[in-house]
Chain A
């Protein structure tokens, strides 16, 4: 952080008439010195607090929102939210005009203050982000919404702060869809589940009567595609998570699997297995036209579009072993891109377009890694006994995946959990879920 102070000084000396350089957080490297940030409770006066307590059964909602923000910022590994006990200024006074000396005394470099009001069944939440060292306001915004959305307000504020301080979009007002798992390994019960990115508001979307796998979000809306063994026929389904309505995708005489949406949300790309051969197909959701994309006697699966929709990456064992390939979206110009030691699978194109995340199996270990889209610059982020299926945060900075543990001969010791890791390879974290979990997929930002 010394560097930031220094930079600030230097720029004010050289260009004193330009805008003062405010704090910024570099997210391109593993951040070993997270930015000390003070998140003051959002001020809520007594009448407002009483009214909201009655309305949504939450006491001290202003403080609760500040905790949502703190947790989000802390989980990035880029920020270090300071203990509220050390704060010298009261939330209401700080929000009006912070005494910056008090905040710099506790080593805060940034400060968040705010206020909650309740009028006509709506909450109005305003917040300000302050640069403590420069003694300046960096950002001030207000939102009005139904009080039940109080956690989402915390997420949206987190996104705004992250964006202001890092220069990139946040990923907090998002959800994760995944497969909830329970029961012994030989008779695992699996359900589709959805939760907020921070693990709250878990909802189960299926009952567990049939096996379900690999749910993925439509990047443009709240539709989901997944594999269900409904009536013992493994098929790709489309589910509207708002209405609960679902339908089979296409009319294939065999198993369809490994579905994903195209970036515009208008097509589903998937594999269709017939007579021992799996190839890649697309179905246009508007006119229902099915197109065959690959035609090869090998296993071609786990397809994923580039964000511009012009290319597809997938894995195939046409070389004899599972490897990663890239082709044009019409299936032409197929090129193998993975050439390292071991097997490569589950390629997923970064929403930023420049990288492909993958799973690698080498000498009995599983790795999550990234490579450039031409296969160069391979970087392994994490090694474990078993892990796979990375999914990108919408800003392309974080990967979520699942990890399984080894079991003894009685099946004891087995677990499946969600984990996340920064693109930098730092900040590996367990994502808490109510049950065991696998196959995570990260939604786009809900508010834009």
Chain B
């Protein structure tokens, strides 16, 4: 009888443990699916310049290299800008909070210019694009964790007029 009871308890504990680990993996998977190679790939903070034209691209820590997904987003922006030749844009470059303020200002400028260069190679005239860096001053997500930081490392294309 004692044996049976303890087995029963063991089974209960195992089921509980299984449930817990399932929760944990689910949560990890959720974050994993939103960050790839340190770059945010989710859609939480993304707004749209037009139907199917996301307004922002994301970067890895300390990087200003455009990912494949970022280039695709910028090609969509370029196509939209070609169709709407009366619209000018401001590219706002941002960094996460894990860097020194002045370096982050420079990094934000470098990120926004990476986006600008790409738009220009797709035929958008330089005088339709201006660039501003906010460094780490304007986070979109105020959390202090890798997912929040990945959302904040961004260049956002904003209509200027």
A interface vs B, CB < 8 Å?
A: 184-186, 188, 211, 213-214, 227, 232, 234, 254-255, 257-258, 271, 273, 275-278, 299, 301-302, 315, 317, 321-322, 345-346, 359, 361, 364, 385-386, 388-389, 404, 406-411, 414, 438-439
Contacts and interface: CB of A to CB of B under 8 A. Distances in A.
A345 B105 contact: no
B107 A299 contact: yes
Contact of B103 (A227, A302, A414, A438): A302
B137 A255 contact: no
Nearest to B109: A273
Interface in B118-154: 131-134, 137-145, 148
A21 B153 CA distance: 61
Contacts of B64: 276
B102 A301 contact: yes
Nearest to B112: A276
A257 B103 contact: no
Contact of A186 (B106, B117, B142): B142
A389 B135 CA distance: 15
Nearest to A346: B100
Interface in B91-112: 97-103, 105-107, 109-110, 112
B113 interface: yes
Contact of B100 (A389, A406, A409): A389
A382 to B, nearest CB: 15
A361 B99 CA distance: 8
B53 interface: no
B105 A257 contact: yes
B142 A185 contact: yes
Given A255-B105, A273-B106, A302 B100 contact: yes
A359 B100 contact: yes
Contacts of A258: 102, 105
B143 A411 contact: yes
Given A276-B109, A276-B110, A361-B98, A409 B103 contact: no
Contact of A409 (B112, B117, B143): B143
Given A386-B98, A411-B143, 11 more contacts: A186-B139, A213-B137, A234-B133, A255-B133, A258-B102, A301-B102, A301-B105, A346-B102, A364-B98, A385-B144, A439-B101
B132 A299 contact: no
A407 B103 contact: no
B97 A276 contact: no
Interface residues of B, number: 32
Contact of A276 (B113, B140, B142): B113
Nearest to B143: A409
Given A185-B142, A234-B133, A361-B98, A301 B103 contact: yes
A407 B142 contact: yes
29 contacts: A185-B142, A188-B137, A211-B137, A213-B101, A213-B105, A213-B137, A227-B105, A232-B132, A254-B109, A254-B131, A257-B106, A271-B106, A273-B106, A273-B109, A275-B113, A278-B110, A301-B105, A302-B102, A317-B103, A321-B62, A322-B99, A322-B103, A345-B99, A361-B99, A385-B144, A406-B144, A407-B142, A409-B148, A439-B101
B114 interface: yes
B142 A414 contact: yes
A408 to B, nearest CB: 7
A386 B98 CA distance: 7
Contacts of A409: 141, 143, 145, 148
B132 A255 contact: yes
Contacts of A411: 142-143
A389 B101 contact: yes
A258 B135 CA distance: 12
Interface in B51-73: 62, 64
B140 A388 contact: no
B30 to A, nearest CB: 13
Nearest to B137: A211
A380 to B, nearest CB: 16
B101 A214 contact: yes
Contacts of B145: 409
Contacts of A276: 64, 109-110, 112-114, 117
Nearest to A302: B102
B143 A345 contact: no
Contacts of B138: 186
Nearest to A404: B97
B113 to A, nearest CB: 3
Contacts of B100: 302, 315, 322, 345-346, 359, 361, 388-389
A410 B131 CA distance: 29
A407 B144 contact: yes
Given A234-B132, A322-B103, A407-B144, A386 B109 contact: no
- In the A-B complex, the 4 residue pairs with the smallest Cβ-Cβ separation, listed nearest first, are A411-B142, A276-B113, A185-B142, A278-B106
B139 A185 contact: yes
Contacts of B139: 185-186
A254 B148 CA distance: 29
Given A234-B133, A411-B143, A277 B110 contact: yes
A315 B103 contact: yes
Contact of A299 (B110, B114, B142, B143): B110
